Amino acid sequence: MSIVNQDAASQKVNQVTGLKRSELEDIRMFLMGMVFSKKKEAFSLSSLLGGENYYWNDTPLIKLYEKHLLKGKTSQEAIGDAGRDAGWILKQVIKLSKRQFETWKEDSKGTTVNYYKWVE
């Protein structure tokens, strides 16, 4: 486990492209609200946006899905790529936050999942 935000400059975070700056900012604010609601809980992107929260219509996240559909991808491909984009944006939110987060990775169903927990 490590604490993020202590040396944020050394952490690599991919930039998500293909959206307007205002759309990206809306997504960041949406994710920030979700992150800050998990004050004492560990969370991952899938725990925030998957399961019962998979329906992204009427949220800023739908722009990620639509971006990939407009590139000619199938619905399934667009879902996967939008999820990856959302993961990079979540990393940006965590990295830029004034709060500190503990972070670790776990393997789940053949995929590496990033987990975070707000450290007070």
Task: Read off the pTM.
Answer: 0.86
Per-residue pLDDT of the chain (120 residues), as tens digits, is 555 554 444 457 889 999 999 999 999 999 999 999 998 899 999 999 988 888 899 999 999 999 999 999 999 999 999 999 999 999 999 999 999 999 999 998 888 899 999 997
Contacts of residues 93-100 at CB distance under 8 Å and 24 or more positions apart, as own/partner, are 93/28, 93/31, 93/32, 93/35, 94/4, 94/5, 94/35, 95/4, 95/5, 95/8, 95/11, 95/13, 96/8, 97/5, 97/32, 97/35, 98/5, 99/5, 100/3, 100/4, 100/5, 100/6
